Amino acid sequence: MKKITLLDLKAKKDQGKKITMLTAYDYPFAQMVDEAGIDIILVGDSLGMVVLGYESTLPVSMEEMLHHIRAVKRAVKRAFLIGDMPFMSYQASVEEAVRNAGRFMKAGCDAVKLEGGQEVTDKVEAIVKAGIPVLGHIGLTPQSIAQLGGYRVQGRNVQSAKRLVQDALALEKAGVFGIVLECVPYQLTKLITERCSVITIGIGAGPYCDGQVLVIHDLLGLTLGHKPKFVKTYVNLAPQIKQALFQYQTEVKEGIFPDFSHAYSLSEEAWGAIKKAVED
Ligand code: KIV
């Protein structure tokens, strides 16, 4: 099985073939995503909300990310693996950004992702200079939620749209191999994708990106509560899982499970010998 490389991703853009990307945070999900043939697996800091139960991505630590990256890495044979740098792992200084990006690579990542535009290009340049591929992320950047004033679509007015285009071009100049566009109107996404030579990956950014990403728990119907407009739930697993749990509970209470088909047994000869030994 051939491992996906940056050259394969770039070739897809050049040939007009769509790039597929999904999040995964643990061994079994990563194995399924990898075997399904998805191009890129992102161990996103969305982990904080969908797996660890935090209210935002802000509390997620480097150690938590590394723990999950290592589990995912053990499952991945083919997909390009990206680790999402958590809040305050790259913002404070260029040195810290390079050191933390290096820790992700040592844990098995093929690249790192970080949020922000012109304000993070010094970090992007330094990480790329260290030989580490970087995926940018602009538009709705959840780590800056306090500054953005909530989870809302970005680039809706001239000032904000111009800023997004400038951010994309600045990231490209700083050396990113691609940019995630989150919650951006599709007309603006199209313009950015046409103007940038690097790949664009959309989430809530319409059909004109070079690729698409979703949080796997959203796609599988495993996230409870509010679901953004851009999410498509391909299977609603949460009710099916709950139904299985209720059935298990009922069957244990009523003595239906386990039956003898789920139990181990001894041969008559072995049981006879054991019984005799125990009774003597
Ligand atoms: O953390 C994450 O899962 C992400 C994707 C939604 C792009 O950043």
Question: Which tens digits make up the pLDDT trace of 58-100?
Answer: 999 999 999 999 999 999 999 999 999 999 999 999 999 999 9
Which tens digit of pLDDT belongs to each residue from 237-266?
999 999 999 999 999 999 999 999 999 999
Q: Point out the ligand 1 atom lying closest to the alpha carbon of residue 201.
A: 7
Give the pLDDT confidence score for residue 150 in this predicted structure: 86
Ligand 1 contacts CB of residue 164 (under 6 A): no
| Residues found in the chain | 280
Give the pLDDT confidence score for residue 157 in this predicted structure: 96
Residue 190: pLDDT over 90: yes
Q: Point out the ligand 1 atom lying closest to the alpha carbon of residue 45.
A: 1
CATH number of 6-235: 3.10.350.10, 3.30.160.270, 2.40.30.10, 3.20.20.60? 3.20.20.60
pTM for this model (two decimals) = 0.96
Give the pLDDT confidence score for residue 73 in this predicted structure: 98
**Chain mean pLDDT for the chain:** 97
* Catalytic hit among 182, 194, 251, 269: 182
Which tens digit of pLDDT belongs to each residue from 121-180?
999 999 999 999 999 999 999 999 999 988 899 999 999 999 999 999 999 999 999 999
**Cis peptide upstream of residue 228 (ω within 30 degrees of 0):** no
Give the pLDDT confidence score for residue 60 in this predicted structure: 98
Q: CB neighbours of 213 closer than 8 A, spacing ≥ 6?
A: 21, 22, 23, 40, 42, 180, 201, 202, 203
Give the pLDDT confidence score for residue 1 in this predicted structure: 80
* Domain boundaries of the chain, sorted by first residue: 6-235, 240-279
**279 has catalytic annotation:** no
